[in-house]
Chain A
Amino acid sequence: MHEMSLAEGVRGIVEETVAAQGLRAVKAIVLEIGELSSVEPDALAFCLEAVLRDTVAEGARIEIERIAGAGWCLECDRTVPLAQRYDACPNCGGYRVQPTAGTEMRVRELEAD
């Protein structure tokens, strides 16, 4: 995926929050990025540094929490770990696995004044 544009989405959410809450400065932005979401965390942090310039979040610390991938295997009838979105079930080798965790791309919280 293309992290510069995701960074733009994060900036939009941060700016709306800052306006709605009357915040003065944002010290840190906490993101949740699932391991199945195809986002490269280092690239996203790099892009955020660029797009947050000249905002109240300029220089904010970027914390990216990874969420491990998991899926529900319909054959095995249980949750199995998934390293990639369309991988086979590590247990039975089948592909009837619905991702249940790890697809997140969320702004979780801000540390702010």
Chain B
Amino acid sequence: MCTVCGCGSGEVKIGGAVRPRGAARKPAATRAWKALGEHQHEHVHPDGTRHSHPHEHPHDHDHMHDAEPTAAMAHVEDGEGHLHFGAGPAHAHVPGLSQAQMVKIERDILGKNDLQAEANRRWLAERGIFALNLVSSPGSGKTTLLVRTINELAGRVPVAVIEGDQQTEFDAERIRATGAPALQINTGKGCHLDADMVGRAFERMDLAERSLLLIENVGNLVCPAAFDLGEAHKVAILSVTEGEDKPLKYPDLFAAADLLLLNKVDLLPHLAFDVERAIGYARRVNPDVQVIRTSAVSGEGIAEWLAWIERGLAGRA
């Protein structure tokens, strides 16, 4: 379930294959849970599942004696490293002391997603892939802009696309028509992509090194703001056929973006949209946001957008 809005996540389809959430990834038997003193650790299971988790070395306490080994004590990892908590239930190993006590957790409620996002980020960095997470309302012109972007970059930069929608392959088909590889994730009842879905998409895609990966999130101005996918930047797209006050109505999403594309500007002569006011509102919630005015139809701003992408790609190389 979405931990922001409560929408379901019962049936996620990645590239057409139905994979119930929870069944695809084995629970991490070696998962550590303490926030303090931990560091990240990534490994690959024999079945090819890659994951990372905090890894800690608690040593500053006595070991429990005269007791059956607990699940916590039994943790041993293959290969490098291991966990040895050396403590019984709730670390209660002093005779006569009540076992009721406080167990420190210090975990973010969205921490699981953030861990997977960091694993995704490392995976992308190792391959020099520049990934952008495109967030907007439905109908802002994301897919049309992507098609134009891919066509402009053809022959210069390899581009792949992950498409997120609740249902249908329509968007992935539009991208594939350009010749670029595209994987459709259908979130079912879900309202956003999360880091786990995107990580699983990587496994199914043959992504070129030093390429551009465009992740088109589900059209939604609320939930995608809270979910890091491991991207280099979130790019918000606001079309001029929407209200210019959207950055104030949905501030979290505009605050999370590094770049705002003000899209469909070819329609401005027909609208009462106040461009400067919209940009002012966006800068109120995000003073450092960069803004490019784009139109996939007239081509306005496309060169500037491509230059922004190419600067990002150069930074990866």
A residues near B (Cβ < 8 Å) are 1-2, 4-6, 8-10, 12-13, 16-17, 19-24, 27, 30, 74, 85-86, 95-96, 104-113
Contact = CB atoms under 8 A, between A and B. Distances in A.
B255 interface: yes
Contacts of A9: 3, 109-110, 112
Interface stretch (B100-108, B126-134, B195-203, B303-311): B100-108
| A interface: dominant SS | mixed
Contacts of B287: 74, 95-96
A20 B6 contact: no
Interface in B266-289: 283-285, 287
Contacts of B317: none
B71 interface: yes
Contact of A21 (B2, B72, B100, B110): B72
Contact of A22 (B70, B107, B251, B284): B70
Contacts of A108: 104-106
Interface in B1-53: 1-7, 31-33
B88 A22 contact: yes
A2 B5 contact: yes
Given A2-B6, A23-B89, A86-B255, A17 B106 contact: no
Interface residues of B, number: 39
Contact of B33 (A5, A17, A22, A113): A17
A16 B33 contact: yes
Interface in B80-130: 88-91, 99-112
A106 B100 contact: no
Contacts of B107: 13, 106-107
B110 A1 contact: no
B109 A112 contact: no
A73 to B, nearest CB: 11
Nearest to B113: A9
A104 B106 CA distance: 11
Nearest to A94: B287
Contacts of A23: 89-90, 103
Given A13-B33, A23-B89, A106-B109, 13 more contacts: A2-B4, A9-B3, A9-B110, A12-B112, A20-B33, A22-B71, A30-B102, A86-B285, A96-B287, A105-B109, A107-B106, A110-B103, A112-B100
